[in-house]
């Protein structure tokens, strides 16, 4: 780890992240054209990027199963194939419902397989420099956020949204090439463990699919088989969904709830920034340039965030840097909501871009510090599927707010309240937990060095607690 081929894998992860994560926000560039084409409202049109974003995260458990069964290489290549086919098929859609299926479901699921596998593989190729590796990999997202809006705007002008979707679908197929770089590095112990897991998996499938196991010759055997199936099913849920971690690990529980709440408003500004800018009279090319400014800031800030998080002063305190960034990110939306001109929107993009860079660089690093690495894949699966619940309803709710009020500014004010409150919740909750842990450690250090099972009774000195020698 941390050298040699690890850096080639990192490069592949950068490209995959640049092709997957930024594109749902680029759908805002096609937003107005899709509305005109299908004669739909803001809320109806916003379901396209919403479903895409939700599947990108909600497919985590399925991605975990594929990673453990086939490895990161195959899963990334499968994701690239699905996302490419989904966008190419979207260029032939005749209804908004068809677009929900192709661009939303198929492309979103392909993004999930490619993105989450490329994140997971970094945890195995990097140990000592994992924080830096995550930050460097996330610069791929920043580069994509800079270039994809400009490319999308160019394709929209030159070829229309259908031709643009077709070309972008071909571009997504490059994830297959990046997946091929993620060769599995297996030791003998790894191979033995995989064979054991494969054997256990086959046994589980046999139990679930064998008719003999379901019938039995007696009611006792049938009940035993039913209980065995239920137990195996629970084990599979714990393996791929980490419900046990969510119930027993307070930090993982708080972090997951906080991020889930934050994502109700965190991604919405990226979808509505371009429509908001054009609604106040800004030209479409300048509106697309705002997205490019966000990406350009991310290029420099994401690796810098990784370097800052590795400083000794932030050792064990990364969660607080993350929560502060969430608060700043939320409050920055007030600038956009109150601004009515290009200078205020540029200032908003700068502040929003800096805070987003820190959040994106640390979100998975904090998760890796919260759970053990051997449970990271399953923890990531539950983490992403929960946050996708709020992510899928965020843009449609914002679109409904726009349809009712006819003002985009209310969307940014609402996102400000949601994201900032989530950051405060995470930071304060972790602070309270640390205080409780410190108090518990202090009590344990001051306790007498004897077994906690022993009970001591205080006896008055004037009475003999034990019989004398003569009495004995």
Q: What is the CATH number of the domain that holds 326?
A: 1.20.1250.20
Region 403-411 average pLDDT = 86
Most confidently predicted of 128-137, 155-164, 227-236, 463-472: 155-164
Least reliable range by pLDDT among 155-164, 303-312, 329-338: 303-312
Residue 210 lies in a domain: no
**pLDDT value, residue 213:** 47
- CB distance 190 to 178 below 8 Å: no
pLDDT of residue 437: 83
Residue 463 has pLDDT above 60, yes or no: no
Range of the domain at 285: 238-443
If asked whether residues 243 and 172 sit together in one domain, one would say: no
Instruction: Please report the pLDDT score of residue 448 as a whole number.
Output: 61
Q: What is the pLDDT at residue 81?
A: 94
What is the SS3 assignment for 85?
helix
- Domain closes at, from 143, 168, 184: 184
Task: Tell me, yes or no, whether 272 and 145 share the same domain.
Answer: no
Question: How would residue 190 be classed by pLDDT, with cut points 50, 70 and 90?
Answer: low
Q: Could you tell me which of 252, 265, 239 has the C-alpha nearest to residue 391?
A: 265
Stretch 91-118: mean pLDDT: 91
Residue 125 pLDDT level (bands cut at 50, 70, 90) = confident
| Residue with the larger pLDDT of the pair 198 and 291 | 291
For residue 143, the model assigns a pLDDT of: 84
Closest CA to 268 of 380, 409, 163, 149: 409
Confirm whether 468 is domain-assigned.
no
Residue 216 has pLDDT above 70, yes or no: no
CA nearest 243: which of 340, 134, 375, 151? Answer: 375
Q: What average pLDDT does this structure show over 298-312?
A: 77
Q: Considering the domain boundaries, does residue 206 fall inside one?
A: no
Domain-embedded: residue 223: no
- Spatial neighbors of 447 by CB under 8 A, at least 6 apart, are none
Indicate if 80 and 174 belong to the same structural domain.
yes
Average pLDDT (186-204) is: 48
Mean pLDDT score, 173-193: 69
Instruction: Answer yes or no: do 170 and 279 share one domain.
Output: no
pLDDT bin (cut points 50, 70, 90) of residue 452 is: very low
Residues 257 and 157 in one domain: no
Q: How many structural domains are present in the chain? A: 2
Higher-pLDDT residue of 50 and 211 is 50
Is residue 192 over pLDDT 60? no
- Look at residues 160, 184, 208 and tell me which one is the last residue of a structural domain: 184
- The overall average pLDDT reported for the chain is 80
In DSSP notation, 187-230 reads -HHHHHHHHHHHHHHHHHHHHHH-HHHHH-SSHHHHHHHHHHHH
Of the ranges 187-201, 227-241, 250-264, 271-285, which one carries the lowest mean pLDDT score? 187-201
Q: What is the pLDDT of residue 89?
A: 93
State residue 262's pLDDT score.
92
Eight-state DSSP code of residue 142: H
pLDDT of residue 167: 93
- Angle (CA) 24-419-246 rounded to 5° is 90
Query: Does a structural domain hold residue 168?
Result: yes
Distance CA 199, CA 188 (A): 17
Tens digit of each residue's pLDDT (9 = 90 or more) over 138-179: 778 878 888 888 898 889 889 889 999 999 999 999 999 988
- Residue 205 counted as domain residue: no
Encoding tokens for residue 440?
A: 């518990």
Residue 231 in domain: no
Q: What is the mean pLDDT of residues 118-127?
A: 82
Q: Dihedral angle at the C-alpha atoms of 201, 205, 208, 209, nearest 10 degrees?
A: -170
Q: Specify whether 169 is located in the same domain as 75.
A: yes
- pLDDT bin (cut points 50, 70, 90) of residue 205 is low
Average pLDDT over residues 45-59: 84
Q: List, as own/partner pairs, every contact residues 275-281 make where C-beta atoms lie below 8 angstroms and the sequence separation is at least 24, other chains included.
A: 275/28, 275/31, 275/32, 275/42, 275/408, 276/336, 276/408, 276/409, 276/411, 276/412, 277/345, 278/32, 279/408, 280/340, 280/341
Q: Tell me: do 147 and 268 sit in the same domain.
A: no
Averaging pLDDT over each range in 217-231, 325-339, 398-412, 417-431, which range is the top one? 417-431
Q: Are residues 175 and 320 in the same domain?
A: no
Contact 338, 123 (CB under 8 A): no
Residues 144 and 246 grouped into a single domain: no
* Res 420 pLDDT > 80: yes
Q: Are 292 and 350 in contact (CB under 8 A)?
A: no
Query: Do 154 and 282 fall within a single domain?
Result: no
Looking at the chain, the whole-number percentage of residues with pLDDT higher than 70 is 82
Residue 383, domain member (yes or no):
yes
Tell whether 175 and 257 lie within a shared domain.
no
Q: Which of 35-49, 280-294, 421-435 has the lowest mean pLDDT?
A: 280-294
Residues 29 and 91 in one domain: yes
Q: Look at residue 341 and tell me whether its pLDDT is greater than 80.
A: no
Higher model confidence: residue 420 or residue 460? 420
pLDDT for res 2: 67
Q: Which of 26-40, 188-202, 402-416, 439-453 has the lowest mean pLDDT?
A: 188-202
């Amino acid at each position: 780890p941390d050298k040699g081929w690890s850096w080639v894998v990192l490069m592949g992860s950068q490209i995959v992240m640049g092709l997957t994560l930024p594109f749902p926000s680029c759908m805002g560039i096609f937003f107005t054209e899709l509305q005109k084409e299908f004669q739909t409202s803001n809320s109806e049109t916003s379901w396209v990027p919403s479903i895409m974003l939700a599947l990108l995260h909600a497919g985590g458990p399925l991605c975990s199963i594929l990673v453990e069964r086939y490895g990161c290489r195959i899963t990334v290549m499968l994701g690239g194939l699905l996302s490419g086919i989904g966008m190419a098929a979207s260029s032939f859609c005749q209804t908004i419902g068809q677009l929900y299926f192709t661009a939303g479901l198929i492309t979103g699921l392909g993004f999930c397989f490619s993105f989450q596998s490329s994140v997971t593989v970094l945890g195995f190729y990097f140990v000592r420099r994992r924080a830096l590796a995550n930050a460097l990999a996330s610069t791929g997202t920043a580069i994509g956020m800079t270039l994809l809006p400009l490319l999308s705007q160019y394709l929209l002008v030159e070829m229309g949204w259908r031709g643009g979707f077709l070309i972008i679908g071909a571009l997504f197929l490059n994830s297959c090439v990046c997946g091929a770089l993620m060769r599995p590095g297996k030791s003998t112990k790894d191979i033995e463990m995989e064979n054991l897991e494969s054997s256990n998996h086959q046994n589980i499938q046999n139990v679930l699919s064998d008719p003999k196991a379901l019938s039995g010759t007696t009611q006792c055997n049938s009940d035993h088989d039913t209980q065995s199936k239920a137990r195996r099913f629970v084990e599979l849920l714990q393996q791929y969904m980490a419900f046990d971690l969510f119930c027993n690990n307070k930090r993982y529980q708080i972090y997951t709830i906080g991020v889930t709440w934050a994502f109700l408003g965190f991604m919405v500004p990226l979808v509505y920034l371009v429509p908001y800018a054009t609604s106040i009279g800004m030209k479409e090319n300048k509106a697309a340039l705002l997205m490019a400014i966000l990406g350009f800031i991310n290029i420099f800030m994401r690796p810098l965030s990784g370097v800052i998080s590795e400083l000794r002063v932030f050792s064990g305190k990364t969660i607080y840097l993350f929560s502060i960034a969430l608060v700043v990110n939320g409050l920055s939306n007030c600038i956009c909501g109150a601004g009515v001109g290009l200078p205020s929107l540029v200032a908003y993009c700068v502040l929003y871009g800096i805070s987003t860079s820190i959040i994106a660089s640390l979100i998975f690093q904090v998760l890796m510090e919260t759970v053990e690495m051997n449970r990271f894949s399953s923890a990531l699966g539950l983490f992403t599927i929960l946050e996708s619940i709020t992510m899928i309803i965020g843009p449609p709710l914002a679109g409904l707010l726009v349809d009712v009020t006819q003002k985009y500014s209310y969307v940014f004010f609402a996102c400000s309240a949601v994201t900032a409150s989530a950051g405060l919740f995470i930071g304060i909750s972790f602070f309270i937990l640390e205080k409780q842990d410190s108090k518990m450690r202090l009590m344990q250090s001051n306790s007498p060095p004897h077994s906690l099972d022993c009970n001591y009774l205080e006896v008055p000195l004037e009475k003999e607690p034990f019989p004398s020698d003569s009495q004995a």
